[in-house]
């Protein structure tokens, strides 16, 4: 599914030198390496501020808290994402409200969000938290319109979307704040847990920096109840090295996605439309989006059997995500039931992520496509 060693080998010397520099300076927490990575990252994304922190989960919490969202506020998000998209809202003290997804992009559907906004719940909705799932931005033109119409903050879950764009603008700079994850499998990845908040707001930046260090503006004087969610020097050093290559790696992912499309079409097994009938439906890059293909996710009505077949051929695949968030045991208290979000539920039954990473070879892609064609025949 993913061979991280192929990324590591050509970078080995550069990475070891960067790590050695951290050891020599002994700046293990925040410090010079993190500050220079933050500046480079902000420049790369075209945003004013980037604040490193200890994970994507913490970045989501930090973005919400720094935007002033907490107890007594509701935040609308998607039921089809990683658990942290919802748990971070709870962690900030706010109430998550879910709305269904668009079946083509798997992203939060603006129409479904507006339906919620038109019949306001008991708790006032203060923000929307769309997730740029699989590396493709949520429909930001529509979310910007909704944000203006209803006076809402927009927080991006950009964990899977480093380098993705909407209308030529990079994820992380689209909303009031963006949250990135540098988990080792992400397009831009650390050598452990790491994350980042991005924003164009000076106030939000200042608050995020304060909250990531226990609400201290001055040492041992606590103005806010924050948390310890600092980025460490080793991760800053690794990320700064990898930042030089991420544009090229994302371009490789785009080439691989294009090749999958061509290979599947050549076999005649890709069906048109949003839902598969007998074959498979391929993922699409929609107008306005610049997809960075964190995942290449197909739909199949016989997904589980297909996955088993691929496994028997030693071909990796993964299901992101098998259980929609409204059906997770830990989120029962939100009060949703099976049937509440049919698109998310159908996606959870049909999606299958195929291998995609910058170093994936053409012959390996052919093996994947040939195996799927064999299964379908």
Ligand X SMILES: Cc1ncc(COP(=O)(O)O)c(C=O)c1O
Work out how close the CB of 83 gets to ligand X at its nearest, in angstroms, rounded to a whole number: 8
Position 157 contacts ligand X (CB under 6 A): yes
Q: Exactly one of 78, 95, 107, 181 binds ligand X (CB under 6 A); which one?
A: 181
For residues 355, 357, 361, 363, the Cα torsion angle rounded to the nearest 10 degrees is 10
Cβ-based nearer residue to ligand X, 31 or 56: 56
Q: How many helices (H) and strands (E) does the chain have?
A: 12, 16
Is the link from the previous residue into 321 a cis peptide, with omega within 30 of 0? Answer: yes
Q: What Å distances lie between residue 187 and 67, 152, 160, 216, CA to CA?
A: 26, 29, 7, 32
Structure tokens at 133: 């799932």
Binding region for ligand X (CB under 6 A) out of 49-57, 62-70, 103-111, 217-225 = 49-57
Q: How many residues bind ligand X (CB under 6 A)?
A: 15
Position 80 contacts ligand X (CB under 6 A): no
- Laid out side by side, the sheet with 296-299 consists of 270-271, 280-281, 296-299, 351-354
Work out how close the CB of 132 gets to ligand X at its nearest, in angstroms, rounded to a whole number: 8
Position 62 contacts ligand X (CB under 6 A): no
Cα–Cα distance, 123 to 71 (Å, whole number): 10
Cβ-based nearer residue to ligand X, 32 or 318: 318
Cβ-based nearer residue to ligand X, 136 or 365: 136
Cβ-based nearer residue to ligand X, 100 or 157: 157
CB 344 within 8 A of CB 322: no
Residue 196's φ and ψ, nearest 5 degrees, are -160, 140
CB 229 within 8 A of CB 30: no
Cβ-based nearer residue to ligand X, 85 or 136: 85
Cα–Cα distance, 199 to 6 (Å, whole number): 33
Position 57 contacts ligand X (CB under 6 A): yes
Strands 177-181 and 153-157: parallel
Structure tokens at 319: 């299901």
Q: Exactly one of 56, 103, 279, 283 binds ligand X (CB under 6 A); which one?
A: 56
Work out how close the CB of 261 gets to ligand X at its nearest, in angstroms, rounded to a whole number: 24
Position 166 contacts ligand X (CB under 6 A): no
Position 31 contacts ligand X (CB under 6 A): no
Q: Exactly one of 41, 62, 76, 131 binds ligand X (CB under 6 A); which one?
A: 131
C-alpha angle with apex 287: 285 to 290, nearest 5 degrees?
Answer: 55
Position 160 contacts ligand X (CB under 6 A): yes
Cβ-based nearer residue to ligand X, 181 or 250: 181
Cβ-based nearer residue to ligand X, 136 or 181: 181
Work out how close the CB of 24 gets to ligand X at its nearest, in angstroms, rounded to a whole number: 28
Cα–Cα distance, 272 to 298 (Å, whole number): 12
Q: Exactly one of 33, 78, 81, 295 binds ligand X (CB under 6 A); which one?
A: 81
Binding region for ligand X (CB under 6 A) out of 9-17, 36-44, 152-160, 304-312 = 152-160
Q: What Å distances lie between residue 260 and 71, 158, 188, 293, 316, CA to CA?
A: 46, 24, 22, 12, 15
Binding region for ligand X (CB under 6 A) out of 26-34, 120-128, 157-165, 326-334 = 157-165
- Cβ count within 10 A of residue 200: 18
Position 183 contacts ligand X (CB under 6 A): yes
Chain residues in the site for ligand X (CB under 6 A): 55-57, 81-82, 84-85, 131, 157, 159-160, 181, 183, 193, 195
């Amino acid at each position: 599914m993913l061979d991280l060693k192929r990324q590591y080998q050509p970078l080995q010397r550069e990475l070891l030198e960067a790590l050695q520099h951290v050891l020599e300076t002994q700046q293990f927490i925040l410090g010079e390496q993190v500050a220079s990575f933050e500046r480079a990252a902000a420049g790369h994304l075209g945003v004013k501020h980037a604040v490193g922190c200890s994970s994507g989960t913490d970045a989501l919490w930090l973005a919400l808290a720094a935007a002033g969202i907490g107890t007594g506020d509701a935040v609308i998000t998607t039921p089809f994402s990683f658990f942290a998209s919802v748990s971070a809202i709870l962690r900030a003290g706010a109430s998550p409200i879910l709305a269904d997804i668009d079946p083509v992009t798997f992203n939060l559907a603006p129409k479904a969000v507006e339906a919620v906004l038109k019949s306001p719940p008991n708790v006032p909705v203060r923000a929307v938290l769309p997730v740029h799932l699989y590396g493709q931005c949520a429909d930001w033109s529509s979310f910007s319109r909704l944000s203006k119409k209803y006076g809402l903050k927009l927080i991006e879950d950009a964990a899977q979307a480093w380098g993705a764009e909407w209308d030529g603008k990079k994820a992380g700079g689209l909303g009031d704040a963006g949250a990135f994850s540098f988990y080792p499998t992400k397009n831009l990845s650390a050598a452990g847990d790491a994350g980042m908040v991005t924003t164009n707001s000076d106030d939000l930046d200042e608050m995020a920096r304060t909250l990531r260090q226990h609400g201290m503006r001055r040492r041992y004087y606590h103005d806010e109840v924050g948390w310890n969610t600092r980025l460490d020097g080793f991760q800053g050093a690794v990320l700064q090295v990898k930042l030089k290559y991420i544009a090229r790696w994302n371009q490789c992912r785009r080439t691989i996605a294009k090749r999958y499309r061509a290979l599947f079409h050549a076999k005649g097994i890709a069906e048109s439309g949003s839902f598969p009938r007998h074959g498979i439906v391929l993922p699409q890059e929609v107008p306005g989006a610049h997809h960075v293909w964190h995942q290449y996710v197909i739909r199949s009505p016989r997904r589980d059997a297909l996955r088993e077949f691929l496994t028997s051929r030693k071909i990796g695949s993964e299901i992101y995500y098998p259980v929609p968030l409204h059906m997770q045991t830990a989120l029962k208290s939100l009060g949703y039931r099976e049937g509440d979000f049919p698109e998310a539920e159908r996606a959870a039954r049909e999606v299958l992520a195929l291998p995609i990473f910058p170093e994936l070879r053409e012959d390996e892609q052919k093996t994947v496509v040939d195996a799927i064609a064999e299964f379908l025949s």
